[in-house]
Amino acid sequence: MRAIGSSLKFRSVFISDIHLGTRGCKADFLLDFLKHTESDKLYLVGDIIDGWRLKKTWLWTQTHNDVVQKLLRKARKGTDVTYVPGNHDEFARDFLNQEFGQIKVVRDAFHDTVDGRRFLVAHGDECDGVMIYAKWLAILGDTAYVAALALNTWFNTARRWLRLPYWSLSKYLKQKVKNAVQFISNYERAMARMARERGADGIVCGHIHHAEIREIDGITYLNDGDWVESCTALVEHFDGRWEILHWADLRGLVPIDSLGEDLAADQADPDFAAGPVVAAPTARVPLEVTNKAKECEYSSSPTLGTLKSMASSEP
């Protein structure tokens, strides 16, 4: 464990898929992140406020408000803040090329890296069209899995009566993990292709709630993850290195499930706001309660969260 006296400083920070206004949003972790990091540039890569959910349920707490205030404050204090709306905050696409208190709203952006490359910054729902087929495969697969769990016992009893061999659930699960991995891989390749078509050397996106840094056919693919499940940010160091920060792990905190009820207590606790101690990045504290099995109901593909958690539980 080590203490940080001042903020961590980066050349640029990319965050997306915050889903403010929903119960799943880990606003307190994000606020903590924003308090302890500084950057020359800050990109909000879509799905910041969840306007879709507004129609059904809307959870707007003081912490959600604090996040917005903190972002506006950063912009006011000199951070170059760019906001690329996503599919959940599509309403903001009505305000393209305008400013919300010094925060620039754009359809997408180009980010110039330290070593002189140009990275396209886009939320990533652009590639959903390419994804429809894979998505339906995943959804059908998930429905079949849920049904299979419930019916597995009598299903195999019936199969025995019919002298059919045992239907293996574990074999089925392995296939599903393959589907999930395939889904993510298809998406990443589609985004890399889009970047190439736009003449970029790389792509920074979000949308699928799966942080990643990898090279795909000469294109650098970067995904900043989300603040619903994994609390990740993508950072560019001053020396040009890129890194994914797993903030909950770095801070050695455990995700809080019932945000709405616990927020008042968090805010009353001065230690939470001050947060003087962080774990060194090399000695990350494994989280025992990561709530991985919980489905992410906020991503565009409702089954992806489940699929991903299954994929990540594979050794």
The residue count for binding Mn ion (CB under 5 A) is 4
Distance between CA 145 and CA 152 in Å, rounded? 10
Residues 6+ apart with CB under 8 A from 75: 42, 81, 101, 102, 103
Smallest distance, Å, CB 91 to Mn ion? 14
Smallest distance, Å, CB 56 to Mn ion? 17
Smallest distance, Å, CB 208 to Mn ion? 8
Distance between CA 60 and CA 21 in Å, rounded? 5
Q: Which of 46-54, 89-97, 193-201, 215-223 is the region at the interface with Mn ion (rule: CB under 5 A)?
A: 46-54
Q: Does 251 bind Mn ion (CB under 5 A)?
A: no
* Bridge partners (DSSP) listed for residue 125: none
Smaller CB distance to Mn ion: residue 103 or 228?
A: 228
Distance between CA 231 and CA 33 in Å, rounded? 9
Among 87, 102, 156, 186, binds Mn ion (CB under 5 A): 87
Smallest distance, Å, CB 307 to Mn ion? 16
- Nearest Cα neighbor of 63 from 99, 84, 34 is 34
Smaller CB distance to Mn ion: residue 86 or 225?
A: 86
Among 86, 202, 225, 305, binds Mn ion (CB under 5 A): 86
Smallest distance, Å, CB 124 to Mn ion? 7
Smaller CB distance to Mn ion: residue 49 or 71?
A: 49
Q: Which of 75-83, 93-101, 156-164, 203-211 is the region at the interface with Mn ion (rule: CB under 5 A)?
A: 203-211
Q: Does 47 bind Mn ion (CB under 5 A)?
A: yes
Smallest distance, Å, CB 186 to Mn ion? 16
Smallest distance, Å, CB 19 to Mn ion? 9
Q: Does 74 bind Mn ion (CB under 5 A)?
A: no
Among 53, 64, 74, 207, binds Mn ion (CB under 5 A): 207
Q: Which of 23-31, 82-90, 154-162, 307-315 is the region at the interface with Mn ion (rule: CB under 5 A)?
A: 82-90
Task: Look at strands 103-105 and 80-83 and give their pairing.
Answer: parallel
- Please report, as ranges, the residues that interact with Mn ion according to CB under 5 A: 47, 86-87, 207
